[in-house]
Amino acid sequence: MSESPRDAFLAGIRAVAPIIVGIVPFGLVAGAAAVNAGLTLLDAVGLSVVVFAGASQLAAIGLFGDGAPLALVVVTVLVINLRMVMYSASIAPELLDEPRRWRTLEAYLLTDQAYALSVTRFERAPGTSRRWFYLGVAAPLWVVWQVCTVVGAVVGARVPPWLPLDFAVPLTFLALLVPAIEGRATGIAALVGGGLATVGTGLPLEAGLMAGALAGVLAGLVAERVVGPDAVGRDGDGPGGGHA
Amino acid sequence: MSPPPGPQVWLAIVAAGLGTFLIRASFLFLFERMGGVPPRLERALAYVPAAVLAALVVPALVAPDGTATVLGNDRLLAGALAALVAWRTESVLATIVVGMVALVALGAAGTFV
C-alpha cells in the first residue's frame, strides 16, 4: 500500500532538511552578487524566481555586470543548465502518470538536489508517492532559495570563513552516490563520470560536468555489455534515501 | 567600467528562464508524446544517477579550487571520511555532519600546525 500524500510530503521534507543548510550560502551569494553587479533587488529576485538555477544565475550576474550582450547571457544560462535534460529524462519515467499541470510545476522545481534525492528514494522505496515526496523535497529548496536571495541582496553574503556551509552540497551528492553504485557497471559509470568531470573542471559553462555525466552514462552502457547489468535496486524495505 | 545594468536585463531573464524551464520540462513532456520511454533510452537512464552524482561530487572533492590536488586537500580527506560514513550508515544527515565536522576540524588543525 503506497503511503499517503501527507506522509510522502513529510518524508520529502525530512530528506531535504539536512541539505538546506548547504544551499544557504549559494542563495545569499545569488542575492549579494546581483546587487554588487549593479542589479536591483527586483532583478535579483527575478533571476531566482524566473531562472531558479544557481550556477547559471551567478554566470548571468557576472555577464550583466560586464555589460555583455543580452543574447550572450541567455545562451550562457541555457548551456550551463543543459544538464537538466538528463535529470528530466531520468526522472520522467517516474512522473509519466502525472497530470500536465502537476508535471509543469514539477518541471519548474527541478534542481540537482530535488532530482538526486527523489531518484534515490524512488528506487529504494518504490511505493513512495512520486508527486508528494518530490514536492516535499523541491518546495523547501525553492522557498529557501528565494528567501536567501532577498537576504543576500539586502544584507550581503557574509558567512564565517571557517564555516564552509557550501560543502554540505557535495556531501549530499556523495551520500546519494554511494548507494547509487550497485555493482561494476554503475561503478564504472561513476568512475568515468567523476574522472572526466574532474579533468574538465576548468572548462567554462559547466561543460566538464555535462561531458563527464554523458561519458559516464556511455561507460555504464559499455560496461553493462561486458560485465552484465548490476542487480536491480534494493528491496523496498531498505532504509529510505535520506532518512534523518 | 560598464554602466549599471538597466531594466532591459529582464528581456534576458525572461528568455533565460523560459529556456531553462523548457530544458527541465523536456522529457517530462516528450516521453508522453512518444508513448513512453524507448527501451534503449531506459537502459541508458539507469546509469544517469551514478554518472551525474559522481560528476557533481568528484570535482568538488578533488579540485575544489579548480585544479586537482591530492596532498593537503582537506575536502578530499573530509569527503573520504564522509564516503565511509555514507557507506556504513546510509544516512544523508550523518554523512553531512561527519563531513562538515571533519572539514572544520582539518581547517582548524591547519591553522595551528
What's the whole-number mean pLDDT along residues A108-122? 96
Residues in chain A: 244
One domain for residues A100 and A207: no
CA distance B81 to chain A (A): 11
Q: Decide if A10 touches B, using CB distance below 8 A.
A: no
CB contact under 8 A, A197 and B56: yes
| Cα dihedral B32, B38, B44, B50 sign | positive
Q: For residue B24, give the nearest of A110, A177, A219 by CB distance.
A: A110
Nearest to A20 by CA among A200, A145, A194: A145
CA distance A180 to chain B (A): 5
Which residue of B34, B41, B42, B57 is the best one to mutate when testing the A interface, meaning the one whose CB has the most A CBs within 10 A? B57
pLDDT in tens, B32-54: 899 888 988 999 999 999 999 99
Most confident option among A168-172, A186-190, A240-244: A186-190
One domain for residues A121 and A33: yes
Domain-embedded: residue A172: no
Nearest to B96 by CA among A77, A243, A102: A243
CB contacts of B54 in chain A (<8 Å) are 177, 189-191, 193-194, 197, 212, 216
One domain for residues A198 and A153: no
**DSSP state for residue A23 in the 8-state scheme:** H
- Evaluate whether A137 touches A113 at the Cβ level (below 8 Å): yes
User: Which of A138-142, A158-162, B54-58, B59-63 has the weakest average pLDDT?
Assistant: A158-162
One domain for residues A111 and A210: no
- Evaluate whether B49 touches A116 at the Cβ level (below 8 Å): yes
Domain-embedded: residue A171: no
pLDDT in tens, A182-195: 999 999 999 999 99
Domain-embedded: residue A243: no
What percent of chain A lies above the pLDDT cut of 90? 80
Domain-embedded: residue A169: no
One domain for residues A130 and A212: no
Local confidence band at A31 (pLDDT 50, 70, 90 cut-offs): very high
Q: For residue B100, give the nearest of A89, A171, A238 by CB distance.
A: A171
Domain-embedded: residue A155: yes
Domain count, chain A: 2
One domain for residues A31 and A98: yes
CA distance A147 to chain B (A): 19
Local confidence band at A166 (pLDDT 50, 70, 90 cut-offs): confident
Q: What range does the domain containing A195 cover? A: 181-226
One domain for residues A101 and A211: no
**Mean pLDDT, chain A, as a whole number?**
90
User: Which pLDDT score, from 0 to 100, does residue A232 have?
Assistant: 57
One domain for residues A196 and A117: no
Output the DSSP codes for chain B: -PPPP-TTHHHHHHHHHHHHHHHHHHHHHHHHHTTS--HHHHHHHTTHHHHHHHHHHHHHHH-TTSS---TT-HHHHHHHHHHHHHHHH--HHHHHHHHHHHHHHHHHHHHH-
Residues 147..176 of A with a Cβ closer than 8 Å to B: which? 162-164, 167-176
pLDDT in tens, B72-84: 899 999 999 999 9
One domain for residues A89 and A187: no
Which residue of B2, B26, B28 is the best one to mutate when testing the A interface, meaning the one whose CB has the most A CBs within 10 A? B28
One domain for residues A19 and A49: yes
CA distance A25 to chain B (A): 14
Residues in Cβ contact with A173 at an 8 Å cutoff, skipping those fewer than 6 apart? A112, A116, B53, B56, B57, B60
Domain ranges of chain B: 64-113
Q: For residue A88, give the nearest of B10, B28, B79 by CB distance.
A: B28
Task: Read off the pTM.
Answer: 0.88
One domain for residues A39 and A84: yes
